[in-house]
């Protein structure tokens, strides 16, 4: 009988979850939580594994923590990820704000569990002889920090922020807090 770790390694190596969604505003491709789930379900079935995802809300600071767990019925492996919640986000009601944070946290918990890398593939990062500048690190002391915070509070996409800047999880929590 294969161990849970061995089965998980097989799932990780078989899973293909391409970035088939397109953000026209930011001009980039991405994958959603739903894309990952659609791709992984048949592989989990093949290896007789069950995936569950749960959310927990933390109030100080306000954020959603998602846990993705995989089990073979005897053993379990879990990964958690967090996303800040702004219940006063412009253009969203409270439920939408919580739902967006839940989806974001769930996606990154799944990324961690299944070793899905959100960086560009090697061909996309090929410089083709051109000089490419490194992304700046966005910290609370960065001159654009408040601009990015305003962008996110107006319904901006966190993935777009990650495309432009290196952002730690702690900085992202501060960005999405009111």
**pLDDT at residue 143 in the model:** 85
**pLDDT at residue 133 in the model:** 65
**pLDDT at residue 178 in the model:** 54
**pLDDT at residue 126 in the model:** 47
**Peptide linkage before 61 cis (omega within 30 of 0):** yes
**pLDDT at residue 119 in the model:** 62
Cα 77 to Cα 4: distance, rounded to the nearest angstrom: 8
pLDDT digits over 19-61, tens only?
989 888 888 888 999 999 999 999 999 999 999 999 999 998 9
What are the E-state strand segments in 31-150? Answer: 50-59, 62-71, 76-84, 136-137
The pTM score is 0.66
Strands 50-59 and 62-71: antiparallel
**pLDDT at residue 124 in the model:** 47
Residue 82 has phi, psi (to 5 degrees) of -125, 155
**pLDDT at residue 46 in the model:** 97
Stretches where the chain sits below pLDDT 50 are: 121-126, 128
């Amino acid at each position: 009988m294969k161990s849970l770790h061995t089965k998980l390694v097989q799932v990780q190596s078989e899973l293909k979850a391409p970035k088939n969604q397109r953000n026209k505003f930011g001009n980039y491709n991405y994958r959603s939580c739903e894309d990952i789930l659609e791709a992984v379900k048949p592989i989990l079935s093949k290896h007789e594994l069950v995936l569950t995802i749960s959310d927990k809300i933390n109030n100080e600071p306000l954020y959603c923590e998602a846990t993705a767990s995989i089990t073979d019925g005897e053993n379990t492996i879990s990964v958690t990820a967090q996303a800040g919640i702004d219940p006063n986000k412009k253009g969203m009601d409270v439920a939408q704000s919580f739902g967006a944070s839940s989806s974001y946290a769930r996606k990154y918990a799944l990324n961690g569990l299944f070793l899905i890398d959100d960086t560009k593939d090697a061909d996309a990062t090929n410089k083709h002889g051109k000089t490419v500048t490194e992304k700046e690190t966005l910290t609370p002391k960065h001159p654009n920090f408040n601009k990015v915070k305003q962008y996110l509070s107006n319904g901006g996409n966190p993935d777009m922020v990650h495309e432009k800047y290196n952002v730690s999880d702690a900085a992202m929590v501060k960005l999405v807090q009111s």
